Structure 1
């Protein structure tokens, strides 16, 4: 029974994590359609806040509950192909996100300044989009690897 509870907790945390990072991209792109630095600053501030409230705690719960569920279920973490692949992709996503987090803050600060023009935001926003996609894709691939139990 404990295995199933940790598995459930793990799945709930994954839903929160993927939902939050995916909708963050949506809201920033939605704000960018206005081509307005204040809109972008507000969206980016919301993304940063939601990362603190949802993404970071979800990551901690994913790691703890996934590890405990695997241990209780008798799955060797790194010797089970689909677990190793999923963990590797999740770690890759996190490493790429480590480059994205400071960029989010820089973009939010720049867009919040009264003298910032839309053209000033575009290079950082393009970079944020590229790095964000590079972080988001392995996270979704990790989900597929885990659910489909893909071999490594």
Structure 2
């Protein structure tokens, strides 16, 4: 798939999982994101970022769970980074605050586990139980150029 087709493909994967961008449920969204990651893309580099923590990037202080696919595309000089994100936000609670923050990158580089192994490792992490006990206040799917 071409990079410009990535967001529609992600939205299709989410829709097939019964997820709407403004009302994402974390585990079905993660599984849909994993299916989306399995679609090859025409890019110089293709990476996965899984992260969570308390942030206030676009508004009030919130616990944010984020799944990001980052493409390095060689449009012109210099190359551009494009990030396609699913973000799920929660009101900070003591239990969510206790999770702290975490980020984990995967790029398929030599020595890294396979994508399937990485997706499974992330899905088995302990924070899913804590996060699943909370109701999101909002969610979104968007594409951006971080730099």
TM bucket normalised to smaller: 0.3 to 0.5
Higher helix share: 1
TM-score between the two structures when normalised by the length of structure 2: 0.35
In our comparison, the structure showing a higher alpha carbon Rg is 1
Greater strand percent: which structure? 2
TM-score (norm 1): 0.34
Higher relative contact order (CA 8 A, sep 6+): 1
